[in-house]
Structure 1
């Protein structure tokens, strides 16, 4: 768990003022995170999609319109096994150290995608035209593969993202809407009823 790693990492408070943790709740992976000697600054988000879009409000509005969205980014395309990808078996083996046959792959992808309607690619101008086009092609090929092989009716979409939130994070421009400030010893908590992150008092 992230909390265990942070709690026991050797950080000299005489050399550093903060720990910058570029994560959100991330599947509860940061729940309870704290550090005994240094404050932690982290993103006030459930996952990294709003960070890639660069605007929490825009992300919420998109999800209200299309709640069945499975997100793609170029980083995920390069690093992770994504449903429908031509390289899914190879990346699955690299990531999970497990070889899939075709039947197993179909079963996993069917289970993963059964509640989704869209595969949406997030692109940044800052990464350039070549990367954006490669990401579009890959995402569209995943849509076609899942629809053709498994009978889904998925649609392709794309969203122009921005590194603005990440830039403000590293530049120290931490407003209370987008970022959480955890004093030393204080834990990150989550109110499931309100779907809200907050810091232990």
Structure 2
């Protein structure tokens, strides 16, 4: 298991959104097989193949971040599902997808990404080592807070909104995806 600092540090610029469960609840139909070979799909290709990340992929494309997320990384992405995006107030997604709001959209997306490969076991250990919660530095330069609720990892954003990881540890060729049931919005 890789050594992770007390606070997960971001060193690169990338993208995405969502949460992860230690128990890896199958809320989203992502294949559970290992994608770590060079011919395996990357983060973007994996998200495109799920059928439940259409909004996320559209947002990544609109923000012109797909190329970044196809780089070697590694990245850890908390990827909200279409249902998670649908929970946002009416008009939020449409507003963010407008070309004039590209900067704001990019900030939202990179708030869902962390530099490095961070598994749910890494997160659980970090939470335990830090007395029940761990701070995670995102590529947006803001923090998320991770806690355990039973066996589920719950991520709280800067505004205090809690989001559960519904499927953890989806391995890709350039990192890990943790599927979430909510969207993080930066402060």
Greater share of strand: 2
Greater share of helix: 1
Fold equivalence (TM over 0.5): no
Q: Which has the larger radius of gyration?
A: 1
- Normalising to structure 2: TM-score of the pair? 0.24
- Normalising to structure 1: TM-score of the pair? 0.23
